[in-house]
Amino acid sequence: MKKKFVIWTLVLFSLYGLLLGLYLFQWADFGVPDAYKGTAADPTTFMTDRQLELAEDYSRYKDFLSFITEPLEWVIYLGVMVFGISLIFKQFSEQASRFKIIQIPLYVLLLQTVTTIILFPFDYISRRLSISYGISTQSFSSWMRDELIGFWVGFVIMAILITVLYWLMNKFRKRWWLYAWMLLVPFLVFMMFIQPVVIDPLYNDFTELQDKQLEEKILGLASQADIPAERVYEVNMSEKTNSMNAYVNGIGSNLRIVLWDTTLNRLKDNEVLFIMAHEIGHYVMNHLYMNLLGVIASSFVGLFLAYHLMHYTMRKWGEKWKVKDVSDIAALPVFFLLLSLLSFIASPVELAISRNAEKAADEYAIQMTEDPEAAVGSFQELTVNGLSEVNPPALVKYLRYGHPTMMERIHMLEQYQEEKQE
């Protein structure tokens, strides 16, 4: 079984990489349709030839790396089962302590460590790619610090979730998935509440917006939308990236309006206001809560399917893997594998819903600010600074894009401007 696994992995992965490379570097067209040429959505009207060349190359390499890395996680989880590494992790954790509350987090730590080490070269290549194209400005020490923070934050959260999950598996043999989902709901709400004030500050320094005149204008927009915000936060992202961003996150008293300092440095005030109006639109249309409901609903379906698929998988391969039961911690990689596959299958639908929400936020922002010129300028500047592709290949759009393409977004703004002038 081990030999077959290695051979099939090498054959399928090589074929996948070849087809992916041909699609992105040979078959896919990065240009815009004739109908958009010469318009504000045409990158040749606001980018230099060099910028166009860099954007196309960067997009191809970035997309290739992203697509090639995703199935690697599946291979790792399956390989851990096939080669008996999961059993070794289980035995080590059992020798370390006789208490499940120690054994399970220790197993999670071992599995996460191996996964992180194997995927680390690809993360590093992604970083080097971003630096070479002038997107990332982050030093290696700073990047490693963020990686380590992410590792330990992820471990703590996952250790808690998996410890509770396996307690439920052992106590409720047929309904563990349902009770796990019921406990997951308040946990997701709690995480949404603490994210802006506990987790985000671990990575970056947040301060009150220094430009008080701009803050007053942004809070004015927030007031029109009945957003209970008393201040706007600025985050020092320029030491890490040249990309720009802004967002509204959190719920209740922890809701925050946040601007990256790169956005402040590169956009005019009216362009910043459009970007913030877009983020405010998400709040007004309850996209934050709709996203939460979407995660809750998808987790219900995911856990239900994982329950049945786990039992099927254990019946078919459990004996070969020497894992007798679903509730055995050694079966955890199978659970992760199934959830990852289910998430991948659901991603086109989730991304389509996200693109629709982003389009609605764009429409809200332009109606609120009534400044199409500033809106178009902000999107063009975002494209230039991020070396973004305005019209990505179909496979990239439907499997990676949670926003409409820049071509679609700018075209919508031009249509609004034409309708306004009529």
Report the binding-site residues.
278, 282, 358
From the list 362, 371, 381, 389, the catalytic residue is: 362
Are the CB atoms for 310 and 335 separated by under 8 Å?
yes
Q: Distance between CA 69 and CA 379 in Å, rounded?
A: 29
**Residue (of 129, 407, 384) closest to 266 by Cα position:** 384
Annotated binding site for Zn(2+), which residues?
278, 282, 358
Active-site position among 63, 234, 279, 371: 279
Q: Which residues, 6 or more positions from 281, have their beta carbon under 8 angstroms from its beta carbon?
A: 225, 287, 360, 361, 362, 363, 364, 365, 368
Beta bridge partners of 241: 136
The contacts found for 143-146 with CB under 8 angstroms, 24 or more apart, are 146/203
Calculate the dihedral angle through the C-alpha atoms of 165, 103, 338, 347, rounding to the nearest 10 degrees.
Answer: 70
Q: Which residue in this structure is represented by tokens 């563990």?
A: 176
CA 353, 23, 56 angle in degrees (round to 5)?
A: 80
Parallel, antiparallel or unpaired: strands 256-260 and 232-235:
parallel
Q: Where are the alpha helices (DSSP H) in 172-233?
A: 176-194, 212-224
Alpha-carbon dihedral sign for residues 374, 375, 378, 383: negative
Q: Are 176 and 168 in contact (CB under 8 A)?
A: yes
198-204 contacts: CB < 8 A, separation 24 or more?
199/153, 200/249, 202/149, 202/153, 203/146, 203/149, 204/235, 204/236, 204/237, 204/240
Examine the residue annotation and report whether 234 is marked as an active-site residue of this protein. Answer: no
Q: Is the dihedral of CA 396, 397, 398, 401 positive or negative?
A: positive
The strand pair at 246-249 and 206-208 is best described as unpaired
Known catalytic membership, residue 279: yes
Between CA 129 and CA 143 the distance in angstroms is 14
307 contact partners, CB below 8 Å, separation of at least 6: 176, 177
Q: Which helix (H) or strand (E) holds 249?
A: strand 246-249
Distance of CA 295 to the CA centre of its chain: 13
Q: Quote the DSSP letter at residue 88.
A: H
Q: Which residues are catalytic?
A: 279, 362
